[in-house]
Structure 1
Amino acid sequence: MFEKILTFTRKRHVAGLKCAFTGHRPQNLPFRFDETDGRCLRLKAELRKLIVQMIEQKNVTHFISGMALGIDTYTAEIVLDLKSQFPFITLECAIPCETQAAKWSERYRNRYFAIVERCDKETLLQTHYTPDCMKKRNRYMVEHADFVLAVWDGSPGGTGMTVNYAHSLNKVVWTLNPNTFSINFG
């Protein structure tokens, strides 16, 4: 059974293309939860460059984050930081269920809510958790995007399923490998 999607918009986005983010959770990244690790810092710098490239060269003005720990959080924070340089860009938080961050540590919950507070649009896909709510969130993001920026090492899992779904809908997928930092613009 599908629940009604609830949306709260703070700011309308400028007509342009849309990009959804997908990627690994911290435990599946080479540096795990250590954001001071040089590999994490490099990954964030590469993501920032790719997002700026999308804005400047591809007319992407709206970004969608699924708000999970890891890549979703990093990219949301990068977009919010870039608003000072590109005030016309918008961030949408696609939230799978109201309790998404309920079991996270206080530090990560505070980070989550700080992003949601500053985003331009909140989309709550369903009120209660179900085993497929993350998949529904991922499908929503892909269906509402022109581009997908994925941080993916090719391993099976939610990121891989999201990338495959994007390809099945003929979306443009840019993939950044978190181990090698190679980029596939496909």
Structure 2
Amino acid sequence: MLNRLVITGYKAHELGIFNDTHPGISIIKKAIQDRLIPLINDGLEWIILSGQLGVETWAAEIVMDLQMEYPELKYAIMTPFLDQEKNWNEAKQEKYEMILAQADFVTSLTKRPYEAPWQFIEKNKFFLKNSDGMLIVYDEENEGSPKYIKKLAEQYAERYEYEIFLINAYDLQVVAEEEQIKNWEQS
């Protein structure tokens, strides 16, 4: 059974998304929500995020919305290092602070400011060892930062019982078309 799920994927800028009004955000959020609801109904209790801008912050917003209907669902923000938001603009920092304030658990895994890429590697290893599966928004044809944790998760899944769920460009296209049809039928 899946109790603890890591959600990760692209950073917003890797998708060419630079503000909260981008139409792609609602498609990504809908795709994540559609994957989460059956898992929650099957006993999923915790969502684990590192809090990076993009898929992970959108996932936190989805969990906050889902907690209205599924109050047993919790989420943790476990950053790879302290003050990961210190170079973000004010609006992004405010949104991040709100996500942290609503989280059921918050920590920094290395308990020190950014030093080197080893902190991301340690975060990835920790996430794999302390979860039952991972939901990744990633498309092989559009490389980006999620490729590293995806590769690590696939290697981990070869040795341990570990589920990997992927949302790719095709999945997002299907959601976009379904939403378009729904909007067309309502007008």
Q: TM-score range by the shorter chain?
A: 0.7 to 0.9
Deviation (angstroms), 1:22: 1.2
State whether residues 16 and 62 of structure 1, in contact with CA within 8 Å, keep that contact through their aligned partners in structure 2: no
- Match 1:175 to one of 154, 166, 176: 166
State whether residues 151 and 177 of structure 1, in contact with CA within 8 Å, keep that contact through their aligned partners in structure 2: yes
Tell me which structure has the larger Cα radius of gyration.
Answer: 2
State whether residues 2 and 39 of structure 2, in contact with CA within 8 Å, keep that contact through their aligned partners in structure 1: no
Unpaired segments ≥5 residues, structure 1: 1-14
- Match 1:116 to one of 100, 104, 107: 100
- Match 2:31 to one of 43, 46, 53: 46
Deviation (angstroms), 1:123: 2.4
Tell me the amino acid that sits aligned with residue 110 of structure 1: E
Compare the two structures and name the one with the higher strand fraction: 1
RMSD, matched Cα: 2.0
**C-alpha separation in 1, matches of 2:165 and 2:31:** 12
Instruction: State the identity as a percent.
Output: 22
TM-score, normalised on structure 2?
A: 0.81
Deviation (angstroms), 1:176: 0.5
Deviation (angstroms), 1:16: 6.1
- The answer to whether the aligner puts 1:56 opposite 2:41 as a matched pair is yes
State whether residues 66 and 141 of structure 1, in contact with CA within 8 Å, keep that contact through their aligned partners in structure 2: no
Alignment size in residue pairs: 167
Deviations 1:94-133 (A, max 9, x none): 1111120000000111111111111111121122212122
The equivalences for 1:73-112 within 5 A come to 73-112=57-96
State whether residues 35 and 41 of structure 1, in contact with CA within 8 Å, keep that contact through their aligned partners in structure 2: no
- The answer to whether the aligner puts 1:131 opposite 2:116 as a matched pair is yes
Unpaired segments ≥5 residues, structure 2: 175-187
State whether residues 23 and 72 of structure 1, in contact with CA within 8 Å, keep that contact through their aligned partners in structure 2: yes
Deviation (angstroms), 1:180: 5.2
Indicate the residue corresponding to 1:27 in structure 2.
13
Deviation (angstroms), 1:150: 0.2
**C-alpha separation in 2, matches of 1:92 and 1:107:** 22
- SS of residue matched to 1:83: helix
Deviation (angstroms), 1:157: 4.2
